[in-house]
Chains A and B, each alone.
Chain A
Amino acid sequence: MADADTNTLKRTPLYDLHVSLGAKMVEFAGYEMPVQYPAGVLKEHLHTREKAGLFDVSHMGQAYLTTTEAPLGSDEAHEKIAAAIETLVPAEIKKLKKGAMRYTTLLSEDGGVLDDLMITRLYRDDLQGMLLLVVNAATKAQDFALIEKRLEGVATLEIAEKRSLIAIQGPKAAAVVNRLLPGALDQPFMSVRPHYWPASGDGAYIVVSRCGYTGEDGFEISVPDSHAVLLAKALLAAPEVEPVGLGARDSLRLEAGLCLYGHDLTPEISPVEGNIAFAIGKRRREEGGFPGADRIQKELKEGPKRLRVGLKPEGRAPAREGAEIQSTDGKTIGAVTSGGFGPTAGGPVAMGYVEAGFEKTGIRVNLIVRGKPLPAVVADMPFVPHNYYRG
């Protein structure tokens, strides 16, 4: 375990709240974050699937990207900012509706994934020409530096240093959020809406996104640091809500088949290999115009040389990151990139990369765990069905 000097670690505005709730704090991406609360990873995981869990994700990077090529508040401004960001990501941003968001990837010139991120077209008419970007904590400094440099002269990037991000996930999340922020119940999946909260008095400007990283319905709420504790406490006051740490966040996303950047996606892996080709817009597959388009278009047409797949070990032993994947005749065909025990799946689950030819569901492989072959099958993801709001 990395024993980083705690003096150099950053804390989110919710740090004291985590400690008062009995959290075990660990280093993650330069922050002291709660890995679990007294309930423990297993119960926190199951509670999220059953009711609602609250997660501090304030370590993630939030930034606003604004066009300098057209006055804010016009459709033209959106077209300009969309054209700018589309030079760095393969998603369809131009045709995004107001208040809609997309999952996509920041690409290297080789078509490798430098990060995965959420891009949102803001909802308000007067803010057309601005996009909200939410990126991973470990990569945020380099992401923002890259975006700023590459879009110099056409857009400005304002990092939202003073904003926290609180996720609430689970089947009861919408009901809970709706009590504080009326309208949340009917908010479309993958959309954002602005609110002032608390509604009375000097409310803070908060941005509510209906998305998440657990496979459940839920929200990520961007809130000024000044109001973060107040909002977290208001959400935790709901009887359905329990705090959930990074441990369960990881097992939840693994069961949902979602990638953890730096593990399941890296600068060497393309979005096609990563099995997230849905992050590439339809128009953009034809047109290209994003970094590494040659490689990515070729992989889309001919199939990638390797692919991220789900893996289900037989028996109860989990296979973890780094475990070699072998064909049944003993040839190395890949490696596990994430794996563990799925509390809802009720057994071990994993994902990893296999050579082309081994990606079909049902193919039998061996995972090398503690030097012994552990039989497993290539399995469909998610391991636990997604439970997103579909209106």
Chain B
Amino acid sequence: MSVKYSQDHEWVKADGDVCTIGISAHAAEQLGDVVFVELPDTGKTFAKGDDMAVVESVKAASDVYAPISGEIVEVNSAIVDEPAKVNEDPQGAAWFVKIKMSNASELDALMDEAAYKDFAGQS
């Protein structure tokens, strides 16, 4: 499946019922140099829109919201150890968490690449 985006600048890539989630390249650029990442524990469940993680740059702290509901099945501790990775490869190696979806239909409400580009250009 192709990558989808939330209005809070998270990206979501579904593989079966597990989604890999991170922050968009646009968000990483806006944040500037990332110096701190806090990720949830595996096993925790979130409803869509809940505060799920924290990312801080030299400028400010930002919440990362769950773009879909479900249970955390894996977290990327590499970005906790090396937050700068979030700037280097935000939509690749620097993914944040993997969530087992509880409601796959929530994916339909997310934007595709073209729609997100439009959206990010305006925000």
Residues in chain A within 8 A of chain B (CB atoms): 35-36, 40-43, 45, 247, 251, 316-318, 320, 340-341, 343, 348, 370
For B58, give its contact among A316, A317, A341, A370 (CB under 8 Å). A341
A313 to chain B, nearest CB (A): 10
For B36, give its contact among A41, A247, A317 (CB under 8 Å). A317
Could you mark each residue 45-58 of chain B with 1 if its beta carbon is under 8 Å from any beta carbon of chain A, else 0? 00000000010111
CB-based contact B32/A41 at 8 Å: yes
- How many residues in B have their beta carbons less than 8 Å from beta carbons of A? 13
CB-based contact B54/A340 at 8 Å: no
Q: Does B38 contact A (CB under 8 A)?
A: yes
- Determine the distance from Cα of A316 to Cα of B58 in the docked complex, in whole angstroms: 12
Residues of B within 8 A of A41 (CB): 32-33, 57-59
CB-based contact A318/B35 at 8 Å: yes
Contact residues of B between 46 and 101, Cβ < 8 Å to A: 54, 56-61, 83
- Determine the distance from Cα of A43 to Cα of B61 in the docked complex, in whole angstroms: 19
- Determine the distance from Cα of A317 to Cα of B56 in the docked complex, in whole angstroms: 8
CB-based contact B32/A316 at 8 Å: no
Known: A317-B54, A320-B61; 9 extra A-B contacts, CB below 8 A, are A35-B59, A40-B33, A41-B58, A247-B59, A251-B58, A316-B36, A318-B56, A343-B35, A348-B36
- Determine the distance from Cα of A247 to Cα of B33 in the docked complex, in whole angstroms: 11
CB-based contact A317/B38 at 8 Å: yes
Enumerate 7 A-B pairs (CB-CB under 8 Å) in ascending A order.
A41-B57, A316-B36, A317-B56, A318-B56, A320-B60, A320-B61, A343-B35
- Determine the distance from Cα of A340 to Cα of B38 in the docked complex, in whole angstroms: 15
B90 to chain A, nearest CB (A): 14
CB-based contact A36/B38 at 8 Å: no
A27 to chain B, nearest CB (A): 15
CB-based contact A247/B32 at 8 Å: yes
Residues of B within 8 A of A348 (CB): 36
Q: A317-B38, A318-B61, A320-B61 are in contact. Are A36 and B32 (CB under 8 A)?
A: yes
CB-based contact B54/A318 at 8 Å: no
- Determine the distance from Cα of A316 to Cα of B83 in the docked complex, in whole angstroms: 10
- Determine the distance from Cα of A2 to Cα of B20 in the docked complex, in whole angstroms: 34
A42 to chain B, nearest CB (A): 4
CB-based contact B61/A247 at 8 Å: no
CB-based contact A40/B32 at 8 Å: yes
For residue B61, which residue of chain A has the nearest CB?
A: A320
For residue B84, which residue of chain A has the nearest CB?
A: A42
Residues of A within 8 A of B56 (CB): 317-318, 341
- Determine the distance from Cα of A320 to Cα of B35 in the docked complex, in whole angstroms: 13
Q: Which 9 A-B pairs have the closest CB atoms?
A: A42-B33, A341-B35, A41-B58, A316-B36, A40-B33, A341-B58, A317-B36, A40-B32, A41-B32
A316 to chain B, nearest CB (A): 5
CB-based contact B61/A343 at 8 Å: no
Residues of A within 8 A of B83 (CB): 316
- Determine the distance from Cα of A348 to Cα of B58 in the docked complex, in whole angstroms: 10
- Determine the distance from Cα of A41 to Cα of B59 in the docked complex, in whole angstroms: 8
A116 to chain B, nearest CB (A): 24
CB-based contact B61/A42 at 8 Å: no
B51 to chain A, nearest CB (A): 8
Residues of A within 8 A of B33 (CB): 40-43
B100 to chain A, nearest CB (A): 25
- Determine the distance from Cα of A36 to Cα of B32 in the docked complex, in whole angstroms: 10
Residues of A within 8 A of B61 (CB): 318, 320
For residue A320, which residue of chain B has the nearest CB?
A: B61
For residue B38, which residue of chain A has the nearest CB?
A: A317
- Determine the distance from Cα of A40 to Cα of B83 in the docked complex, in whole angstroms: 15
Residues of A within 8 A of B36 (CB): 316-318, 341, 348
Residues of A within 8 A of B58 (CB): 40-42, 45, 247, 251, 340-341, 343
Could you mark each residue 14-54 of chain B with 1 if its beta carbon is under 8 Å from any beta carbon of chain A, else 0? 00000000000000000011011010000000000000001
- Determine the distance from Cα of A36 to Cα of B58 in the docked complex, in whole angstroms: 11
- Determine the distance from Cα of A370 to Cα of B56 in the docked complex, in whole angstroms: 12
Q: Which of A247, A251, A316 has the most CB of B within 10 A?
A: A316
- Determine the distance from Cα of A40 to Cα of B88 in the docked complex, in whole angstroms: 13
